[in-house]
Amino acid sequence: MSDAAAAPEVRKEVDGHKARFVIALPEGEAELTLSIASPTMVIADHTGVPKALEGRGLARRLLDALLADARAEGYKIVPLCPYVNAQRRRHPEWADLFTG
């Protein structure tokens, strides 16, 4: 089985002005939470990965899903979350997706 086939699905869940990208595994859920400020701006609040799931690249997969969604839907990201902000600083090629 390839890594792509074995990789758990990243889901986007929206509930009013809150949203999250989530990967659910038997050991727990990894999530990147968002506040929807407007149709053109979201605030990346928090990235959480349970200790049992650390080191598996899940936070990056969640961020990649957020970036792809922002590009597809045409919104900007305010990187309040320290992980998202640190990754933004490391990747200037993503500058068009961020504000603030």
Q: Which conformational region is residue 97 in: left (phi greater than 0), alpha (psi within -120 to 50 degrees), or beta?
A: alpha
Tell me if the pTM is above 0.75. yes
Structure token digits, residue 87: 């990754």
Q: What share of the chain is helix, strand, coil (3-state, %, to 5)?
A: 40, 35, 25
Average pLDDT per block of 10 residues along the chain, 100 residues long: 62 98 96 98 98 95 98 98 98 96
Give pLDDT, residue 6: 62
CB of 78 closer than 8 Å to CB of 34: no
Under 8 Å between Cβ of 100 and 79:
yes
At 59, which CATH number?
Answer: 3.40.630.30
- Which residues constitute the domain of residue 39? 3-97
- The tally of domains found in the chain comes to 1
